[in-house]
Amino acid sequence: MKVIVTAISDTHTKHNQVFKDLHKGHILIHGGDFMNSGYEVNEAYEFFDSFDSVKGYTHKFLIAGNHDRAMEINNEKMVALLNHFSSITYLQDKSVYIADLGVKVYGSPWQPEFFSWAFNLPRNGKELQEKWDAIPEDTDILITHGPPFGYLDIPGGQSIRTGCEILRDKVDKIKPKIHIFGHIHGSAGYHFNGHTHFINAAVLNERYVYTNLPQTFEWDNITNEVKFL
């Protein structure tokens, strides 16, 4: 089946600029960091309301990122708030099977320690291993906030890879058809390694200016071929 997917990430309160450039299709994915400092609940509410109002997509998925502190500090309260926005499926270490498309989606916000932000766990530690071990082996679309080591994980102007080594091991093992993430603004883009389509969907550059358009593609979920639109 041909599925139209749009991926965005790291909107940092500038979502309304981005939403003007959205395509229409089956699946819209936000890979986290919809907030700035992440403490203001009103900031999150405004994003939820705007994201919920986006038309033209059958399914909308959201995960949190390291800037979305409220989603970790007040998780139950924020998830309860999200329940008022019926078109948004929030994924925090869980999967959803989309029966009409025959696609299984899994989302998780965690990443290796990055200063003292949200959803951080020690790099190469037991806790992070447990998070990635929980990803089902039959996942078609994997959504994480941070990248796996070696794929679209170099900050602008640097040469050091910042992706997660444990996540890379998991991705190499289960080979999801699509892996969408953000976090590292300077490596926004696309890479295909022969079995997984990696998409860094960050839309802002490292100065937090809206620079990169949403990535929309037609995906054959049987052959795993993609065509960018």
Q: Who contacts 148 (Cβ-Cβ below 8 Å, separation ≥6)?
A: 163, 164, 167, 168, 170, 171, 179, 181, 198
pLDDT tens digits, residue range 124-142?
Answer: 999 999 999 999 999 999 9
Q: How far apart are CA 37 and CA 116, in angstroms?
A: 11
Mean of per-residue pLDDT scores for the chain: 97
pLDDT tens digits, residue range 32-50?
Answer: 999 999 999 999 999 999 9
Q: Does the structure show a pLDDT above 80 at 27?
A: yes
65-92 mean pLDDT: 97
pTM value?
0.97
Q: In the prediction, which pLDDT does 178 show?
A: 98
Q: Does the structure show a pLDDT above 90 at 17?
A: yes
Q: Does the structure show a pLDDT above 90 at 215?
A: yes
Could you give the 3-state DSSP secondary structure of residue 60?
A: strand
Count of helix runs (H) and strand runs (E) in the chain? 6, 14
pLDDT tens digits, residue range 151-186?
Answer: 999 998 788 999 999 999 999 999 999 999 999 999
Per residue in 62-88, is it b (16+ CB within 10 Å) or e — as a string? Answer: bbbbbbbbbbbeeeeebeeebeebeeb
Q: In the prediction, which pLDDT does 116 show?
A: 82
- The top-level CATH class assigned to 2-228 is alpha beta
Q: Who contacts 179 (Cβ-Cβ below 8 Å, separation ≥6)?
A: 141, 142, 143, 144, 148, 151, 171, 196, 197, 198, 199
Query: 29 near 61, Cβ under 8 Å?
Result: yes
